[in-house]
Structure formats: C-alpha cells, structure tokens
Amino acid sequence: MPKRVVIGMSGGVDSSVAAYLLKEQGYEVVGLFMRNWDSLLNNDIEGNPNDGPICPQEEDYNDAKKVADFLGIELHRIDFIKEYWDDVFTYFLEELKKGRTPNPDLMCNKYIKFDLFKKEAKRLGADYIATGHYARLQEGQLLRGIDDNKDQTYFLAQVSKENFEDILFPIGEITKPKVREIANSISLPTATKKDSTGICFIGERNYQKFLHNYLKPNPGDIVDVETKKIVGTHTGLMNYTIGQRRNVGISGQKEKHYVVGKDVEKNILYVAFGDDSEYLYSDACTITNLNFISEKRPEKCTARFRYRSKDVEVLLEYTSKDELLVKYPNKTESVTPGQACVLYDNEECLGSGIIDKVYKSGERLWYI
C-alpha cells in the first residue's frame, strides 16, 4: 500500500507542482487548504470596503481545487483564523508598536504550517506531510534549496527540529524555472499564476492603509541624525524599517537619504544623508527567541539578517540559553531589531533567533 502524503495546497504553482511530483513518485496524495485570514475583516478605517480583498483566499481555494481535480486527488479545507490571529498577527502588531520590524512568515511557519497544519494532516492519516517550500531535508538536517534565488530556509528557521519529522519538500531539489516548465508541460491550471507576495496569508496590500485598520496613525518628526534638525514628517513609525530608501516622506529632497533609526518614546524617525551612511552599519547584535535545528554549536559560521541579504561571516558567543551574541567584524548594513538572524554552516541551516539589540564598536546604537 502506498504511503499517504498530505500536502499543503495554497493554490500557487509551487505547491501544485509539488503535489504532482508526489503523485508521480507513487504516493497517495491528499491536499489540505488552510484558511488563515477572515476576508470579512476587509474594511478600511472608516468602515468602508477597501480597493480589493486583503487576501483572495476564495480565489486561491478555487485554484487549489482545480489542481486537485486535475490531478485526481482529494482536497480538504480547514480554518486556522483564530490561531493565526492569536499566534502570528497579534505578534506582528505588538512588534510594530515597539518600533521593530517583524517577519510574520517565520511565525506562521512555526505556529501554523508546521504545527497546527501538521497535526491536522496526521488526523487525516498522513504518513508524511509535504509543502511547496524551496528547501531540503537530509538525515535530519535542514539544507538550502537548490535554487539559491528561491531558497526558503530563512523562513523555516524558527520551526522546531521535532516538527521537521515526516516532512517532505518535493521541489527543494529543483529550480523555480524548472517548476514552471513542469507546470506548463502538463498544462497545470496554475502554470502561469503569478507568485504571491505581501504579508503571509494576507497578501498584497497597500501596507500603510492596511496597518491603519489595526494601529492608529501617529505622525511625527523626521530628524537628521547628524544635525538633529527636523527635515520632514513621518506617517507613523510602524510604516518604516531600518535602511529604507524610498517613500520616506521628505518632500523635495533630492539627496540620497535612508532610515537609520526610531525613537518610539519621542515618536521620531531618524534619517541620514549621503551615498553610503555609516549610520546604517553595525558589527554585533544580540538575538533572542533562539531555535536550533542542528545539534551543532559552532563559534564561527555565516548568517543572514534578512531574506534577500547575502551571507555574512559571524562569530558566536553563547552568553545564555536565551540569548546569543552575534559578531560580524566586517560591518554589515541595516541589521534591524525584530528581523530574524538565520545561521548557516555552508548548506545547512543551523537555526535562528530574533534580532534584539544592535551594537557598533562595543556600544549599543541609541538610534535603533
């Protein structure tokens, strides 16, 4: 009897091809669609309909159903709306209130996709659970996906080691162009569907307008970090992140400028001017919310401080079980509290922590 695999189907091309590949490999494949956001919350701050759905989950479900019918597999549906709100979206809002830049995708994977979803899949009789992530698992090690441009281990680095048991990543060994090629070759219904972006499960939105549903707009001064002069007005600190270069809100300013920090108590957004501001750089940070997937505890490895950033050589000091000091002698740009610091040993993802405090030359940066 073939092994039963329950795969998370989002209605996108990646999970669709993953389901197809599993079926080709001889598994009994069952699809499971997660509904994690209530589209009835799609109101703006005046209570009127927005300019489009926050997350077109009905459309995504219909696409997933088309693929399931095309492949001849069952598709189940489950709601995790309350759990997503409690464990992911509330965390997202609380971090923004602190002036930090959270990454909800990591928490969604940790609490929803690789916990609640996995439990539901087991209730459906799964021998294995599969997703359409670009990652690999080999002998208990989480490895980067073959496609460097699409590798998603960064977003998986808060998932516990135990929750990677019985997990399959069918497309981790192939590239995104190959996924599209496979989808087109079999005329998969989602073959030409655009990749989704935006907040996990909420989708592509006008970010500031969306946040104003949940966080009251709080305009304040934009201050030049060197001269301490007011140079503009921001729309609320939650709308900005360290290193941001566009849509900062300094009208008529042609000189390059960057967000370098926030003062939450005084509601000030700090910017620096010039081609390459020293204020963007740091050489150490502490990380909390530690999650190790590997048994390794190296003193040297590499780290990524954002999803699209390059690997940085780092030195690790294990100061306590709850905190890790990460040093990067070659100064690094825009290391931001609230983002994840993901650790790697070549291809292996060792785990991660959430950036808490940022330092330069032994002193904590006051403006971050």
Query: Which residues are marked as active site?
Result: 108, 200
Q: Are the beta carbons of 283 and 360 closer than 8 angstroms?
A: yes
Separate counts of helices (H) and strands (E) for the chain: 9, 18
Residues 250 and 362: their CA atoms lie apart, in Å, by 32
What are the phi and psi torsion angles at 322 (to 5°)?
Answer: -110, -5
Return the sign of the alpha-carbon dihedral for residues 340, 341, 347, 348. negative
**Structure-block tokens of residue 37:** 């956001």
Pairwise CA distance, residues 162 & 166, whole Å: 9
Distance CA 7, CA 33 (A): 9
Say whether 176 sits in a helix, a strand or coil: helix
d(CA 332, CA 292) in angstroms, rounded, equals 23
Residues 6+ apart with CB under 8 A from 142: 135, 136, 153, 156, 157, 164, 293, 294, 348, 349
Rounded Cα distance between 364 and 361, Å, is: 8
Bridge partner list, 5: 29, 128
Q: How far apart are CA 303 and CA 310, in angstroms?
A: 8
